[in-house]
Amino acid sequence: MKTLIIIQARMGSSRLPGKVLMPLGDSVVLDYVVSRCKEVQHIDSVIVATSVLPQDDAIEIWCKENQVSCFRGSEDDVLARYYECAKPHQPDYVIRVTADCPFVDYELADQIIKAMKAEPSDIVIVEGDLPRGLVVEMVSFSALEYIYHHGKEPRHREHVTYYAYEFPDEFKRTYVQAPKVIQQPQLRITLDTEEDYQLCAAIANYFKGNKLISSQKVVQFLLEHPHIAKINAHIQQKPVV
């Protein structure tokens, strides 16, 4: 079962420009994401997919300096970027990760892959209300190709797997139950605003030097330090349009 992890990353951000290369702990945000993705078992490649815009040259340079595969494609048509990144590798499955999730749950990703192996399908659905920023998405390459050809609306092109959630009857699904300990939807462990960055920096500083801290321990830390969890509790996620 050939599986790729593709991390979408770009320097452009309306609320926090350059966020993926901002300092975090002893490194930068993208290093956290890549390092955690490399911990996922039974993966063939981890690839950073960025845009062809000059501002994203910095991401390609970082990838070269750190021996990380990098693909460049459309900025706005993220679905095309993903598909064109994956196609030459002809994988069986693709795992989607966004570079603004420095504490992405690689242990849950292992569970997702195990479930897909046991019950092959088009897409894995994780059940349970989780903090934003922990979960990965896994789709078959055939499903990604189908979405690429059928998802025509701007929301489908910007949000890679959105079509599969909008038209669930067109896809076979495998279900995974998230661990109860991380079912804390009030928490926000992603990076989209300055407040998000303050929270992620507080986590990284507390677990200094440990980019691979378990997501479960990150959640536990925030529950035990509510004053930190409150830093970005008021942030609203931008709606899909």
- Residue 119, SS3 per DSSP: coil
Q: What span, in angstroms and rounded, lies between the C-alpha atoms of 91 and 71? A: 16
pLDDT digits (tens, 9 = 90+) for 64-74: 999 999 999 99
For the chain, domain boundaries:
3-232
pLDDT at site 239: 64
Distances (CA, A) of 134 to 80, 104, 164: 24, 4, 20
Distances (CA, A) of 162 to 84, 158, 167, 231: 17, 9, 9, 29
Q: What span, in angstroms and rounded, lies between the C-alpha atoms of 180 and 162? A: 25
CA nearest to 99, candidates 192, 175, 163, 171: 192
Distances (CA, A) of 42 to 1, 38, 48, 121, 179: 8, 10, 18, 17, 21
pLDDT (tens digit, 0 to 9) for every residue of the chain, 241 residues total?
Answer: 999 999 999 998 878 889 999 999 999 999 999 999 999 999 999 999 999 999 999 999 999 999 999 999 999 999 999 999 999 999 999 999 999 999 999 999 999 999 999 999 999 999 999 999 999 999 999 999 999 999 999 999 999 999 999 999 999 999 999 999 999 999 999 999 999 999 999 999 999 989 999 999 999 999 999 999 999 999 877 665 4
pLDDT at site 14: 77
Q: CATH number for 3-232: choose from 3.30.70.20, 3.30.590.10, 3.30.300.30, 3.90.550.10.
A: 3.90.550.10
- φ/ψ region of 17 (left if φ > 0, alpha if ψ in -120 to 50, else beta) reads beta
pLDDT at site 15: 83
Specify the residue for token string 């989209």.
Answer: 192
Q: Identify the bridge partners of residue 220 per DSSP, sorted by sequence position.
A: none
* Beta-carbon count within 10 A of 96 CB: 21
pLDDT at site 12: 86
Q: What is the reported pTM? A: 0.95
pLDDT at site 240: 54
What DSSP character marks residue 126?
E
pLDDT at site 185: 95
**Which residues does 158 contact at the CB level (< 8 Å), separation at least 6?**
76, 77, 78, 79
